[in-house]
Structure 1
Amino acid sequence: MSVSPMSIDTPVRPAFWNVPIWGEIGVYVLGLLAVALCAWGVWKQWKIWTAGRAIEKDPARVRRAADAVMQKRVVETKAGRVHAMLVVGFFLLFLGTATATLDWDVGHYVFGQQFLRGSVYLAYKLILDIAGVAVLLALGLGAWRRWKSDTLERSTRFVCVYASLALIVISGYVVEALRLAVQQPAWSSFSPVGHLLAQGLIGFGPAALEAAHVVLWVAHGIAALAFIAAIPLTFYGHLYRQPLAAAMRKADAPGTLAPIADIEEQETFGLSAIEQLKPEERIQLAGCVECGRCDDVCPAVRAGTPLKPRTIIMKLRSRAEARERGLTDEKTLVGDVVTHDELFSCTTCGACARACPAEIQTPDFIVAMRRHLALEQGEFPEGAAAALENTASVGNPWGMDPYERMDWAKDLDVPLAEPGKKVDVLYWVGCAASYDRRARRIARAMVKIFRAAGVDFAVMPEERCHGEFARRLGEEYLYQTAAQENLEAFAGYDFNRIVAACPHCFHTLKNEYPLLKAFSELEMGERWKAVDHATFIRELIDAGRLPLTNAEALETLATVYHDPCYLARHNGITEAPRRVLDGVLGTHTEPVETGEKALCCGAGGGQIWCETRAPKPVNVIRLDALKATGAKRIAVSCPHCLTMLESAKATARDDATRVEDIAEIVAAALTERAEPAEGVGSEPAE
């Protein structure tokens, strides 16, 4: 039996069509109950996370949470773009439901007329139908990716996640189709999916269609409201946990570690028990969406080491959740749950933290557990102990005589800083450029650049290792001791700013020294400005203070630029070194992973001093990627990157590829001149 079209003059949203009064009342009652259960679940989780401890106040948290919802990093991968399609589609469906509620409860009951009518209603229906298709397509692609992957979890839990969301959307389409099959309005095609399904239902009688409509409408409503109520208890909780986790991210620059306050008075150090987690850290762990983006970009994972960032976070989260349920065992957090090999494989490059949609600072957790091993257990990876002992005894990881620190400058007549004599630039040489034969060329190149530009500079004679590598290995005490010595030495001199050619030195001086108690006690803040050498050279070039001959003085080689993690990713400095290269060479090439997404060279986190058993070391992997561009010269702006890539060249027996710091390239292109430029003692233009 066919159904005749009903006579409807104007398109208008048919609120509660064919729904009994008990259904109309029930949806409001159950809706309020679902929202209340959801809010109660969120509140209960918050109480567990905080455990009565206060969250540190930070007015920027709201902005960080909002940024996490709209962040661009989510759509940098194919999987991220699929997820964005799911989010946008579901948001539109949610917005459609909210609009429908306002249309009936406010428009109908308050103003006596619905606003979802005419062309507005038709556009509304078309948008929601398309949104539903986008959601189903995204769910299908996501399920296919997960079941195809060798690393993502494939379990009943995720079957329920995908199936429940699909059920809500599909049941909504069928409910719409049943109504359209009965009413057959002229504008049915504005609900294309519902219209298509309705064509197969028109042959049934209106009574059967209406009965089926009521049953399925109730099922669809219960499924949608159950979804809301279950959010805090299921994987759906990432809807609020992810922005919450991002909000709890530290306000300091990426890669910056918080110092251990009053370190000599502490009885425990770092993270050795899950109870030691701060509320902010517990919330960060809860924010993990298990997407695996961190593993995809981790250099240690690519090198085949035991470390997998996602596994570290999930181990910590599982341990915390077990403790919340009162479950305990004899396993130690550091050693049994998280192994030493996992912890000491990390380069602290920050690639995982940058890729994470929840902005979880995985390296911070790793360093916290390393602190426990270093300061309580006295455990370090193979090879690192000697470098740490050398730094403690003679002020440099090589163990060389501190009186030889200035040997790199014996024939250069480099000025030394003097108390009471102000200089524009205090040049921080760093241990690598002071002692490593290859890296010394960077320091000599910097002196040539300073003199060619007429910069008033000096070197601090008391300079010693700042202990950054020791800090990343967990030896916070050695770091703070070294920092205290350096800061006391800095206090005796007057300068406008510090220029460092090593990004690890630059990051430490710029972001981490100012967090120390000694920094404020010595009143360093008013005159403390650290600048990386790429930015400083770029300023000199822009100001016209460097007499460059361009590429004429340089051997013509295809050049690719490698970004150091502590410059690009941790400090966002990517354009300055490129402008320097282009200003001298005219052009350069880029590897696939570049800028803030560049692959680490493998030196960070103290790894440059550690023995590696990786099947294919990180520096070799990076060298292969850089050479894949066809370049014959690799430009760097970090002495550690230079060392690691030179080492990779030796491993590969590659004598054809050259690795040079940008300072060396610029210095080679300088025109010699006897007299200094005008403006000696003044700062370069910003």
Structure 2
Amino acid sequence: MPETLLPILIFSALALAVIGAWRRIRLWRQGRPAEVDLLQGLAAMPRRYLVDLHHVVARDRAMSHTHVATAGGFVAAAVLMILVHGLGWTNPLLGGGLLVASATMFVGSLFVAKRRCDPPARLSRGPWMRLPKSLMAFSGGVFLITLSTLGLLPVEAGHWLAALVLAGLVTWGLGELFLGMTWGGPMKHAFAGALHLAFHRRPERFSAKGGGTGRSTGLKALDLDDTAVPLGVETPGDFTWNQLLGFDACVQCGRCEVACPAFAAGQPLNPKKLIQDMVVGMAGGSDANYAGSAYPSPGLGGKPVGEHSLERYGSPHGPIVAREGTALVDAGTLWSCTTCRACVEECPMMIEHVDAIVDMRRFLTLERGNTPGKGAEVLDNLIATDNPGGFDPGSRLHWAADLDLPLMADVQQAEVLLWLGDGAFDMRNQRTLRALVKILRAAGVDFAVLGTEERDSGDVARRLGDEATFQSLARRNIATLSKYRFQRIVTCDPHSFHVLGNEYGDFYPQGRDGRYDVAHHSTFISELHEGGRLTFRPWKGGSVTYHDPCYLGRYNGEYEAPRKVLAALGIQVAEMARSGFRSRCCGGGGGAPITDIPGKQRIPDMRMNDVKETGAELVAVGCPQCTAMLEGVVDAGAEVRDIAELVAEALVEHSTTQGTVRASRPATEEAIP
């Protein structure tokens, strides 16, 4: 009987899977067009899965092994099952391979079942709770039937009851694994996830052999001249089709919600729920079947699970944020995000949450003019004065009246262009800038500043969704930079560092390389010390911890240079529990202090609690926004100092100016913007 039933079951399931796959593809195709390389993406997909995706999954070693056993066992078992039981290619080699694959999958499913016995709060439940049973039914049934086919288990035609039981187990498993993969069950993440890796919105994120460069964090430029579509994303159908595909790949593991600072602070944002709401919008219907954590603080703008109306909401062409009343999400959910990319860093499916949030913010800002808090005032200031504080642009260098800083307009060329950033208008950050100038002069660096020609980099405008103001600032800054010759830009602001280095390239004049060689001041100081151009007195202060800025670390992968500088000062860093790529955000990015969405606690308060746990007396930082946020904590218990301030205090009076600093590009006519 198994020999008769199995081929029917297998090919029926495959036929239904094809129908279901086409249904999901039609859902994704509701999105806007996106250019992808189909053949290259499909060819690169296995490596992206085995290397890049598993690089993230392997951070939880137990789950990594479980995933390899379960997913790898299933793929091998499914292929061999079609050959052995579907096409009748019964031989000891294929049969033995099928036994090993199904047994491996069964062992993996046991670990899945163990995890689901008492699942962590971050895991979604509901339909996901039946998944280990389905995995065990499929793998166990295939294993026993294969034993029978090989003559190792006496399930004869007369034992029809046993045969039906085994066929029922396989049917149950096939229904979950094939139909659920493509029809909307828990296993749809496997089907969508594989194609998401192949047609990822950011193929640069993958390793070189996977078709990328290993890092991609700059926001995509918005075409402001395209009047055929709204600016930004108003409805789920306004996302690109591969973004919708990415949302569908979500496995609801909850790693993003654990990493999210806004979620921890009780603000109305849960990255996992947000992605699932986009899936509801794409497919239509309600979120009533969602069985994970809801948005925090319903009274502060969150939305209880199941509130969506079947008639009015959950439509691919309906509004994501309604002008009044309820829709898929509330505006406060989008404005809670600090754009720290902690969710993106932790996502095993490599979903781009921040891209989606900024796309939706763009619509609210550009089409509706609906930026909360002081957002509208800041954007007006940027338009009127080229800085978010509305300060007189002519006062940008007042803090340095006694420093006699060289101006690019006077010298025309220099080894280093010192980008001051809008910290030049802030009395606290002016101390950091003065310290950095002292360091550069001690090392004999040939540098100059733009002075009143410098404008805001546009970071805050872009994160608040005002792409028009950002592009205007970017183009005007590029026009200014193009007038002068320099090898490198150095700045103490990671946000300016990121925007200048990673986001200005889309707006550079055609035919020129738009990537400036930009360095964070901690990286440059480290190079100066290693080149013998700086020497320090030994550190004699108390214990020190270091806070990784999001836009330096997760956005640009720079974790070592600041620690090298601190080590050169003789400081042994007392690392916080959340440091490096898992550093907790200070709460200052993405315009969050401007929109000021309320929660149960403040993000910088949580970060200073992390500092207290180390017992450190001082927290070293490398970002003016981090400095402002952490110094704003009441009863912080630890002093906040920028790395440049610590270095400037430790400088030996007669630091050598011998040696050179390696530039990543030669100082030639072609290399200098």
Task: Give 1:495 shift.
Answer: 0.8
Aligned partner of residue 415 in structure 2, secondary structure: strand
1:428-459 CA distance string (max 9 Å, x none): 01111x11111112111211121122111100
- C-alpha distance 24-616 of structure 1, shift in aligned 2 (>3 A): same
Does structure 1 conserve the Cα–Cα contact (< 8 Å) formed by 2:124 and 2:253?
Answer: no
Q: Tell whether 2:649 aligns with 1:668.
A: yes
Equivalent residue letter for 2:12: L
Task: Give 1:609 shift.
Answer: 2.8
Task: Report what 2:500 is aligned to.
Answer: 509
Output the CA distance in 2 between the equivalents of 1:207 and 1:488.
82
Aligned partner of residue 446 in structure 1, secondary structure: helix
Task: Report what 1:39 is aligned to.
Answer: 18
Task: Report what 2:201 is aligned to.
Answer: 249
Task: Give 1:82 shift.
Answer: 3.4
- C-alpha distance 296-527 of structure 1, shift in aligned 2 (>3 A): closer
- C-alpha distance 105-373 of structure 1, shift in aligned 2 (>3 A): closer
Task: Give 1:319 shift.
Answer: 1.1
Runs of at least 5 residues in structure 2 that lack an aligned partner in the other structure: 205-214, 287-308, 667-673
Q: Tell whether 2:567 aligns with 1:582.
A: yes
Output the CA distance in 1 between the equivalents of 2:98 and 2:222.
56
Task: Report what 2:670 is aligned to.
Answer: none
Equivalent residue letter for 2:558: I
- C-alpha distance 587-37 of structure 1, shift in aligned 2 (>3 A): same
Aligned partner of residue 57 in structure 1, secondary structure: coil
Does structure 1 conserve the Cα–Cα contact (< 8 Å) formed by 2:504 and 2:515?
Answer: no
Task: Report what 1:203 is aligned to.
Answer: none
Output the CA distance in 2 between the equivalents of 1:52 and 1:351.
26
Task: Report what 1:198 is aligned to.
Answer: none
Of 297, 301, 310, 2:259 maps to: 297
- C-alpha distance 304-114 of structure 1, shift in aligned 2 (>3 A): closer
Q: Tell whether 2:14 aligns with 1:24.
A: no
Output the CA distance in 2 between the equivalents of 1:609 and 1:52.
31
Aligned partner of residue 520 in structure 1, secondary structure: coil
Task: Give 1:45 shift.
Answer: 2.1
Output the CA distance in 2 between the equivalents of 1:62 and 1:630.
51
Runs of at least 5 residues in structure 1 that lack an aligned partner in the other structure: 1-19, 185-205
Output the CA distance in 1 between the equivalents of 2:152 and 2:194.
44
Equivalent residue letter for 1:39: V
Task: Report what 2:534 is aligned to.
Answer: 546
Task: Give 1:488 shift.
Answer: 1.3
Is 47-56 or 168-177 further displaced after alignment? 168-177
Task: Give 1:281 shift.
Answer: 1.4
Equivalent residue letter for 2:26: K
1:226-255 CA distance string (max 9 Å, x none): 345412112211112123224423246544
Task: Report what 1:373 is aligned to.
Answer: 364
Of 72, 86, 99, 1:91 maps to: 72
1:608-661 CA distance string (max 9 Å, x none): 33435222100110011022111111111111111111011xx2x24x511111
Does structure 2 conserve the Cα–Cα contact (< 8 Å) formed by 1:93 and 1:132?
Answer: no
Paired residues in the alignment total 618
- C-alpha distance 137-382 of structure 1, shift in aligned 2 (>3 A): same
- TM-score of the two chains, using structure 1 as the length reference: 0.82
Does structure 2 conserve the Cα–Cα contact (< 8 Å) formed by 1:419 and 1:494?
Answer: no
Task: Report what 1:448 is aligned to.
Answer: 438
Output the CA distance in 1 between the equivalents of 2:55 and 2:229.
43
Structure with max Cα Rg: 1
Aligned partner of residue 497 in structure 1, secondary structure: strand
Output the CA distance in 2 between the equivalents of 1:162 and 1:174.
18
1:196-242 CA distance string (max 9 Å, x none): xxxxxxxxxx9899444433333344334434541211221111212
Output the CA distance in 2 between the equivalents of 1:56 and 1:282.
14
Output the CA distance in 2 between the equivalents of 1:208 and 1:43.
38
Task: Give 1:71 shift.
Answer: 2.0
Task: Report what 2:111 is aligned to.
Answer: 137
Is 252-261 or 507-516 further displaced after alignment? 252-261
- C-alpha distance 284-106 of structure 1, shift in aligned 2 (>3 A): closer
Output the CA distance in 2 between the equivalents of 1:682 and 1:114.
62
Output the CA distance in 2 between the equivalents of 1:104 and 1:248.
35
Q: Tell whether 2:212 aligns with 1:232.
A: no
- TM-score of the two chains, using structure 2 as the length reference: 0.83
Q: Tell whether 2:215 aligns with 1:275.
A: no
Of 277, 281, 285, 1:319 maps to: 281
Task: Give 1:26 shift.
Answer: 4.3
Of 34, 38, 48, 2:27 maps to: 48
Is 530-539 or 606-615 further displaced after alignment? 606-615
Give matches, 1:175-574, under 5 Å.
210-230=159-179, 231-233=181-183, 234-246=185-197, 247-251=199-203, 253-263=215-225, 268-322=230-284, 329=312, 332-335=319-322, 336-337=326-327, 338-418=329-409, 421-432=412-423, 434-461=424-451, 462-516=453-507, 519-521=508-510, 524-525=512-513, 528-549=516-537, 551=538, 554-574=539-559
Aligned partner of residue 525 in structure 1, secondary structure: coil
Of 147, 161, 167, 2:131 maps to: 161
Does structure 1 conserve the Cα–Cα contact (< 8 Å) formed by 2:505 and 2:515?
Answer: no
Equivalent residue letter for 2:15: A
Task: Give 1:318 shift.
Answer: 0.3
Give me the identity figure in percent. Answer: 31
Output the CA distance in 2 between the equivalents of 1:583 and 1:152.
43
Equivalent residue letter for 1:259: A
Task: Report what 1:659 is aligned to.
Answer: 640
Output the CA distance in 1 between the equivalents of 2:201 and 2:116.
28
Equivalent residue letter for 2:425: Y
Aligned partner of residue 237 in structure 2, secondary structure: helix
- C-alpha distance 615-222 of structure 1, shift in aligned 2 (>3 A): closer
- C-alpha distance 588-341 of structure 1, shift in aligned 2 (>3 A): same
RMSD: 3.4
Task: Give 1:24 shift.
Answer: 2.3
Is 286-295 or 128-137 further displaced after alignment? 128-137
Output the CA distance in 1 between the equivalents of 2:152 and 2:422.
81
- C-alpha distance 422-368 of structure 1, shift in aligned 2 (>3 A): same
Aligned partner of residue 603 in structure 1, secondary structure: coil
Task: Give 1:159 shift.
Answer: 4.2
Task: Give 1:548 shift.
Answer: 2.2
- C-alpha distance 85-213 of structure 1, shift in aligned 2 (>3 A): same
Does structure 1 conserve the Cα–Cα contact (< 8 Å) formed by 2:70 and 2:109?
Answer: yes
Does structure 1 conserve the Cα–Cα contact (< 8 Å) formed by 2:236 and 2:320?
Answer: yes
Does structure 2 conserve the Cα–Cα contact (< 8 Å) formed by 1:372 and 1:474?
Answer: yes
Does structure 2 conserve the Cα–Cα contact (< 8 Å) formed by 1:61 and 1:248?
Answer: no
Aligned partner of residue 426 in structure 1, secondary structure: strand
Equivalent residue letter for 2:321: V
- C-alpha distance 429-101 of structure 1, shift in aligned 2 (>3 A): same
1:322-353 CA distance string (max 9 Å, x none): 189x9762773213322121111110111111
Equivalent residue letter for 2:250: C
Output the CA distance in 1 between the equivalents of 2:247 and 2:152.
51
